[in-house]
Amino acid sequence: MISTATQVAMSETVPARQTPLAQLLHALNQPLTGLQCSMEVALAAPRTAEQYVLGLRQGLELTERMRALVAAIREVVNSEALIEEEEQIVRLEISALDHLLAEAVEDFAPVAEMKGVRIGLDRSSLNIGVASLVAVKLSEAQMATILFRLLDSILSVAARGTWLRIATESLPDWVCMQFEWQAQEAWNEASVAGLGLLVAQARLEGAGAEWTREGKQDRETLMVRLPCGSS
């Protein structure tokens, strides 16, 4: 169950943050700058063959990072364009959302087991019998893809031997999904997992959801709130 204290704390979080696309563009600047500096150093003075090889390897690593970032930027831009073209809100049954999440958790159970990460799914506060529907610009197939991307990214950064706790809850105007996990010490937003989370955030926010993520030391908490509407 999602605690009241957590709901209040996250609802009071100041939303003064960059959009996922802005974060991706900012992240792209670092490897671009690094590649420019590497090339300038190579041209500044004669270097040994070993030094040139090392510089080329570093340049290739930076280029791979830029390729991953550009791919994520393209995915976000394309998803935004698709959402803008979608004029109607797709209303998902709460039971369908519950099924999609449970199915995604089941699919990732072997991956979590290999990593030594235990997954707990608490659905006790989700009222799947209510008449209201989840009102987002996402089909069931699109929602399934996003949930898959979310769990894949979270499990990629979750520390071995820890818990990934997932809780769902029905509120008068929202359906909430909360993910809580302990992250590995070394990971960043520009990693493959970090990019996956940013893409998922862009897809959900663009479809009408609210995304709130907080990190305290190595503990990460993500709450996704999906608006509800009558049938």
Tell me the residue range of the domain where 24 lies.
20-84
Contact between residue 125 and residue 82 where contact means Cβ atoms under 8 Å apart: no
Do 126 and 76 share a structural domain? no
The domain tally of the chain equals 2
pLDDT tens digit string along 27-37? 888 888 888 88
- The pLDDT value recorded for residue 189 is 63
Closest listed residue to residue 179, CA positions, set 93, 117, 131, 135: 117
Do 133 and 47 share a structural domain? no
Strands 210-216, 174-182: parallel, antiparallel or unpaired by DSSP? Answer: unpaired
In a domain, 15, yes or no: no
Do 204 and 102 share a structural domain? yes
Q: Give yes or no for residue 223 having a pLDDT over 90.
A: yes
Q: What are phi and psi of 190, to 5 degrees?
A: -90, 0
Do 132 and 156 share a structural domain? yes
User: Domain ends where: 84, 112, 131?
Assistant: 84
Strands 163-170, 118-125: parallel, antiparallel or unpaired by DSSP? Answer: parallel
In a domain, 13, yes or no: no
Do 152 and 58 share a structural domain? no
What is the mean predicted confidence (pLDDT) over 65-91? 74
Query: N- to C-terminal Cα distance for the chain?
Result: 26
Phi-psi region of 204 (alpha: psi -120 to 50; beta: other; left: phi over 0): alpha
Closest listed residue to residue 213, CA positions, set 200, 199, 224: 224
Do 99 and 75 share a structural domain? no
Do 216 and 103 share a structural domain? yes
Q: How far apart are CA 169 and CA 103, in angstroms?
A: 17
Strand-pair partners of 150: none
- The pLDDT value recorded for residue 1 is 55
Q: Give yes or no for residue 115 having a pLDDT over 60.
A: yes
Give helix 140-157 / helix 192-206 axis angle, nearest 10°.
150
- The pLDDT value recorded for residue 85 is 57
Give the 3-state secondary structure of residue 86. coil
Do 179 and 193 share a structural domain? yes
Q: What are phi and psi of 76, to 5 degrees?
A: -65, -45
Closest listed residue to residue 115, CA positions, set 158, 147, 149, 179: 158
Residue 122 — very low, low, confident or very high, per pLDDT cuts 50/70/90?
Answer: very high
pLDDT tens digit string along 21-73? 888 888 888 888 888 888 888 888 888 888 888 888 888 888 888 888 888 88
Task: Read off the tokens for 168.
Answer: 């769902």
Do 224 and 125 share a structural domain? yes
Do 136 and 94 share a structural domain? yes
Contacts of 67 (CB under 8 A, 6+ apart): none
The type of residue at 149 is R
In a domain, 204, yes or no: yes
Q: Give yes or no for residue 83 having a pLDDT over 90.
A: no
